[in-house]
């Protein structure tokens, strides 16, 4: 699949941008993992290392006005949807200036201005919320699409059925993306899943589904572009929902604290050969981009995220009143009243 | 004033909200045909199927979709049919709707109303009769409303729909047919204000939802005793349990020195416990008698009428508790 003839007609500028985007995600998460090791990030981090092509291929095709519903493993998606890296890192550090003021952390990262309506700590919960966001888009006659990314573990939860059915019966403009990294937390999903898997389940509900190599950023990009065109085909999202399975592999553990000893080193080593960033780099080199330029791109991403991490470490803690703020208007805690 | 039923008044409140704001819509099972109790009858014809939306039997889907739709500029009124069925949508209500605003640092609001009919309704048994209002009061982010009269069912539903917070709106199934006068001009009713249903000086009775009427029946009996034996109790209808009107309750107990809380739900860890504890904390050295709670035993609700009635708090139970309290000096 990494053969150069497949990449011959690729838009080189776009591929370079995608490569850079993937490097930024990787560098962000490596910086976050280092900060966790240093005790600067207190909560769980769910790294998406090895899955960057999905985030870039999907979110690179979304306009700022489009909505994205993400998962607990959503740093990359959030970044590419347009969130500010420093605000994201501040959120992971629990600092003022975080996207959520330090009240959500990695699992609840969100940037509504960028159309990113939230990661979610509950697997699959974003599927129904995405259907509802699309329902609002349709009711209000807006010209947006909704993208909803979830893992393979989510397809065994009820919201998968209820949310997909909802999007189908109301003909809503949603792109469902199953980011299949092979693991439901620390167990292989295939051991826990009846039937042929996510695409067949979506098809059984009348939602057109296709599968793509999720480590091939060009392929994901093209598949998502096709799917979004179908969703938009009747104008205003009248084309109804679409479903895409991206087959990938989680190179890291479930969380930063999971050494993933439940799989062999040989399996992981083989998967590393298929690293999406390694592949995009090889294509760029084949297309004549100098290794030094590609090295510089990687160094740039690393330097950017090192600075982001330093800025987060220097940011102040949230004001104590924030613990009582933004709970509710009616019946807010008495402590919230100045 | 217009005389109408509790059910009709709720429908009127929803209708007014839908006329006033095109972003208000209702969604639930069988709404196109009027809803299971007829609370939506005629609305699909008036507002169309895009705003009175028939949903699949998919409570989690309904609530989850409402969360997304509320985050994106609409005001969904979610019909859960029976509050018991809303338990299928607990993640969507408790983990998502109630927390989205806070955990995203104030970036979003979830202005949805979850209508969850509560209460014993003859021989509906254990999965169609519960009053679980206390569960939701425990959840930061939620507002909990329990109307007891037709006028309130119109005014409080409008206030709930106007609120930017997620509201659990619990109508009592036994009250659907209750008729009373409803003001023609809807006054804006702030949520969190109790109603003094009957003034008195002997005992403060705090209640909500259908049990308010049971308490009023007991109050009439107590007052009507002849030969100078009459007892005047004060009956406070909380109307909303979060926020609840502490000031109204404290003011009354400050005058009477005696508190009886009456609820239909299981007494253990019910909302009455919160009222009783709050009063005890504040008035422990001024109470003339211990605080008292009346509610259901910790038993599932039975089908057979004779067993179901065993679990109800009757007017006679309330009157007996009042007699007990006033006998203590």
pLDDT digits (tens, 9 = 90+) for B256-284: 999 999 999 999 999 999 999 999 999 99
Backbone angles phi, psi at A144, to 5 degrees: -140, 160
B176 and B199 share one domain: no
Question: What CATH number does residue A94 fall under?
Answer: 3.40.50.970
Q: Is omega for the bond preceding A131 within 30 degrees of 0, making it cis?
A: no
Assign A2 a pLDDT band (cuts: 50, 70, 90): very low
- Map residue B265 onto helix, strand or coil: strand
Measure Cα distances from B27 to B9, B44, B63, B170 in Å. Answer: 19, 11, 9, 16
The tens digit of pLDDT for each residue in B11-30 reads 999 999 999 999 999 999 99
Which of A110, A136, A165 is nearest residue B104 as measured by Cβ atoms?
A110
Assign B329 a pLDDT band (cuts: 50, 70, 90): confident
Is A336 among the domain residues? no
Question: What CATH number does residue B205 fall under?
Answer: 3.40.50.920
Which of A128, A169, A327 is nearest residue B60 as measured by Cβ atoms?
A128
Q: What is the pLDDT of residue A4?
A: 47
- Map residue B169 onto helix, strand or coil: strand
Assign B137 a pLDDT band (cuts: 50, 70, 90): very high
Determine the Cα–Cα distance for residues A193 and B313; give it in Å rounded to an integer. 49
Please state, rounded to an integer, the average pLDDT across all residues of chain A: 94
B151 and B200 share one domain: no
Rg of chain B taking only CA atoms, in angstroms: 20
Domain count, chain A: 1
Q: What is the pLDDT of residue A242?
A: 98
Is there a contact between B78 and B112 (Cβ–Cβ < 8 Å)? yes
- Chain A nearest-CA residue for B23: A140
Matching residue, tokens 């008729």: B179
Chain B residues inside the 8 Å CB shell of A66: none
Determine the Cα–Cα distance for residues A163 and A241; give it in Å rounded to an integer. 11
CA B21 to chain centre: 25
Does residue A205 register a pLDDT over 50? yes
B171 and B229 share one domain: no
Is A338 among the domain residues? no
Is A329 among the domain residues? no
Identify whether B128 is a catalytic site residue.
Answer: yes
Is A10 among the domain residues? yes
The strand ranges marked E within chain A are 67-69, 146-151, 174-180, 183-184, 187-188, 209-213, 242-247
Is B299 among the domain residues? yes
Would you mind telling me the total number of residues written for chain B in this entry? 329
Matching residue, tokens 């039975």: B302
Is B189 among the domain residues? no
Give the domain range for residue A247.
Answer: 4-314
CB contact under 8 A, B66 and A132: yes
How buried is residue B222: exposed, middle or buried, by Cβ count under 10 Å (0-12/13-18/19+)?
Answer: buried
Is there a contact between A318 and A102 (Cβ–Cβ < 8 Å)? yes
Assign A3 a pLDDT band (cuts: 50, 70, 90): very low
For residue A166, the distance in angstroms to the closest alpha carbon of chain B comes to: 7
Determine the Cα–Cα distance for residues B209 and A64; give it in Å rounded to an integer. 46
Q: What would the mean pLDDT of B40-45 be, rounded to a whole number? A: 98
Is A333 among the domain residues? no
Chain A residues inside the 8 Å CB shell of B108: 110, 112, 117-118
Question: What CATH number does residue B63 fall under?
Answer: 3.40.50.970
CB atoms within 10 A of CB B183: 11
Is B188 among the domain residues? no
Which of B58, B69, B102 is nearest residue A132 as measured by Cβ atoms?
B69
- Chain A nearest-CA residue for B65: A132
Determine the Cα–Cα distance for residues A221 and A266; give it in Å rounded to an integer. 29
The tens digit of pLDDT for each residue in A27-75 reads 999 999 999 999 999 999 999 999 999 999 999 999 999 999 999 999 9
CB atoms within 10 A of CB B15: 18
Q: What is the pLDDT of residue B287?
A: 98
Which of A98, A107, A115, A135 to substitute to test the interface with B, most B CBs within 10 Å?
A135
CB contact under 8 A, B71 and A117: yes
Picking from A221, A290, A215, the residue whose alpha carbon sits closest to that of residue A15 is A221
Picking from B329, B245, B318, the residue whose alpha carbon sits closest to that of residue B287 is B329
Determine the Cα–Cα distance for residues A242 and A239; give it in Å rounded to an integer. 9
CB contact under 8 A, B64 and A129: yes
B100 and B44 share one domain: yes
Q: What is the pLDDT of residue A235?
A: 57
Residues on chain B bordering chain A, Cβ-to-Cβ distance under 8 angstroms: 23, 25, 50-51, 56, 58, 60-61, 63-74, 76, 91-92, 95-96, 100-108, 140-143, 163-165, 191-192, 242-243
Determine the Cα–Cα distance for residues B103 and A120; give it in Å rounded to an integer. 10
Determine the Cα–Cα distance for residues A143 and A40; give it in Å rounded to an integer. 41
Cα angle, residue B132 at apex, residues B81 and A332 outer, rounded to 5°:
105
Matching residue, tokens 């993992």: A33
Assign A239 a pLDDT band (cuts: 50, 70, 90): confident
User: What's the CA dihedral at A80, A81, A86, A90 to 10 degrees?
Assistant: -120
Which of B32, B62, B72 to substitute to test the interface with A, most A CBs within 10 Å?
B72
Q: What is the pLDDT of residue B228?
A: 87
Picking from A116, A111, A113, A171, the residue whose alpha carbon sits closest to that of residue A139 is A171
User: What's the CA dihedral at B22, B28, B29, B33 to 10 degrees?
Assistant: -30
- Chain B nearest-CA residue for A100: B105
B77 and B139 share one domain: yes
Domain count, chain B: 2
B205 and B318 share one domain: yes
Is B187 among the domain residues? no
Angle of helix A276-286 versus helix A291-314 axis, rounded to 10: 140
Picking from A241, A242, A249, A189, the residue whose alpha carbon sits closest to that of residue A216 is A249
B172 and B45 share one domain: yes
Tokens representing residue A93 in the block: 């550090």
- Chain A nearest-CA residue for B74: A136
- Map residue B303 onto helix, strand or coil: coil
The tens digit of pLDDT for each residue in B199-230 reads 999 999 999 999 999 999 999 999 999 888 99
Cα maximum dimension of chain A: 66
B276 and B319 share one domain: yes
CB contact under 8 A, B61 and A137: no
B133 and B154 share one domain: yes
- Beta-bridge mates of residue B179: B5
Determine the Cα–Cα distance for residues B212 and B151; give it in Å rounded to an integer. 14
- Chain B nearest-CA residue for A115: B72
Tokens representing residue A175 in the block: 């792109």
Give the domain range for residue B159.
Answer: 2-182
CB contact under 8 A, B192 and A159: no
What lies within 8 Å, CB to CB, of B153 at 6+ separation is B6, B9, B10, B13, B147, B171, B175
Tokens representing residue A310 in the block: 């330093």
What lies within 8 Å, CB to CB, of B41 at 6+ separation is B11, B34, B35
What lies within 8 Å, CB to CB, of B228 at 6+ separation is none
Number of H helices, E strands in chain A: 11, 7
CB contact under 8 A, A169 and B56: yes
Matching residue, tokens 């005696």: B258
Is B108 among the domain residues? yes
Which of B51, B68, B108 is nearest residue A132 as measured by Cβ atoms?
B68
Q: What is the pLDDT of residue B278?
A: 98
A-B CB pairs within 8 A amount to: 155
Q: What is the pLDDT of residue B189?
A: 80
User: What's the CA dihedral at A262, A150, A83, A306 to 10 degrees?
Assistant: 10
């Amino acid at each position: 699949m990494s053969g150069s003839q497949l990449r011959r007609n690729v838009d080189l500028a776009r591929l370079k941008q995608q490569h850079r985007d993937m490097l930024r995600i990787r560098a962000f998460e490596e910086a976050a993992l280092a900060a966790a090791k240093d005790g600067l990030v207190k909560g769980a981090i769910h790294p998406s290392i090895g899955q960057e092509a999905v985030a870039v291929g999907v979110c690179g095709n979304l306009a700022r006005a489009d909505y994205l519903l993400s998962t607990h493993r959503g740093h990359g998606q959030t970044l590419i949807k347009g969130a500010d890296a420093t605000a994201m890192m501040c959120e992971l550090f629990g600092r003022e200036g975080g996207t959520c003021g330090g009240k959500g952390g990695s699992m609840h990262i969100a940037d509504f201005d960028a159309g990113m309506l939230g990661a979610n700590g509950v697997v699959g919960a974003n599927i129904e919320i995405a259907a509802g966001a699309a329902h609002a888009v349709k009711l209000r006659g807006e010209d947006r699409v909704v993208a909803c990314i979830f893992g393979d573990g989510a397809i065994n939860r009820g919201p998968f059925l209820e949310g997909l059915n909802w999007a189908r019966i109301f003909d809503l403009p949603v792109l469902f993306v199953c980011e299949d990294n092979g693991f439901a937390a620390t167990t292989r999903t295939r051991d826990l899943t009846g039937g042929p898997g996510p695409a067949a389940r979506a098809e059984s509900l009348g939602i057109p589904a296709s599968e793509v190599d999720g480590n091939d950023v060009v392929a994901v990009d093209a598949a998502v572009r096709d799917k979004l065109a179908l969703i938009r085909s009747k104008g205003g999202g009248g084309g109804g929902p679409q479903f895409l399975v991206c087959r990938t592999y989680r190179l890291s553990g479930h969380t930063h604290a999971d050494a993933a000893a439940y799989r062999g080193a040989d399996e992981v080593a083989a998967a590393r050969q298929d690293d999406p960033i390694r592949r995009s780099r090889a294509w760029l080199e084949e297309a004549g981009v100098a290794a030094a330029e590609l090295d510089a791109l990687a160094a740039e991403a690393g330097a950017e995220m090192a600075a982001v991490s330093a800025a987060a470490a220097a940011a102040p803690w949230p004001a104590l009143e924030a613990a009582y703020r933004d709970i509710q208007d009616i019946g807010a805690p008495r402590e919230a009243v100045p | 004033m217009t005389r109408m039923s509790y059910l009709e008044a709720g429908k009127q409140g929803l209708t007014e909200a839908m006329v006033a704001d095109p972003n208000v819509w209702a969604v639930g099972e069988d709404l196109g045909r009027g809803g299971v109790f007829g609370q939506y009858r005629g609305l699909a014809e008036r507002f169309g199927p895009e705003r009175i939306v028939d949903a699949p039997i998919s409570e989690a889907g309904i609530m989850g979709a409402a969360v997304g739709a509320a985050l994106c500029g609409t005001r969904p009124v979610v019909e859960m049919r029976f509050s018991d069925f809303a338990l299928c949508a607990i993640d969507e209500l408790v983990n998502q709707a109630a927390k989205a605003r806070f955990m995203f640092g104030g970036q979003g609001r979830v202005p949805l109303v979850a209508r969850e009919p509560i209460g014993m309704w003859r021989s509906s048994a254990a999965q169609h009769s519960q009053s679980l209002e206390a569960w939701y009061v425990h959840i930061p982010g939620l507002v909990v409303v329990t109307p007891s009269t037709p006028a309130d069912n119109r005014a409080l539903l409008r206030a709930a729909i106007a609120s930017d917070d997620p509201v659990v709106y619990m109508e009592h199934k036994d009250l659907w047919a209750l008729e009373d006068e409803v003001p023609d001009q809807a006054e804006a009713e702030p949520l969190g204000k109790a109603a003094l249903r009957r003034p008195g000086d002997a005992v403060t009775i705090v209640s909500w939802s259908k049990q308010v009427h049971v308490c009023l029946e007991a109050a009439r009996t107590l007052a009507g005793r002849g030969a100078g034996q009459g007892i005047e109790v004060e009956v406070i209808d909380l109307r909303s349990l979060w926020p609840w009107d502490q000031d109204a309750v404290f003011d009354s107990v400050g005058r009477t020195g005696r508190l009886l809380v009456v609820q239909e739900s299981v007494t253990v860890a019910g909302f009455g416990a919160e009222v009783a504890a709050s009063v005890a904390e504040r008035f422990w050295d001024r109470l003339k008698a211990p605080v008292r709670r009346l509610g259901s035993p910790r038993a599932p609700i039975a089908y057979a009428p004779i067993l179901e009635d065993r679990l109800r708090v009757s007017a006679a139970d309330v009157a007996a508790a009042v007699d007990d309290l006033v006998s203590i000096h």
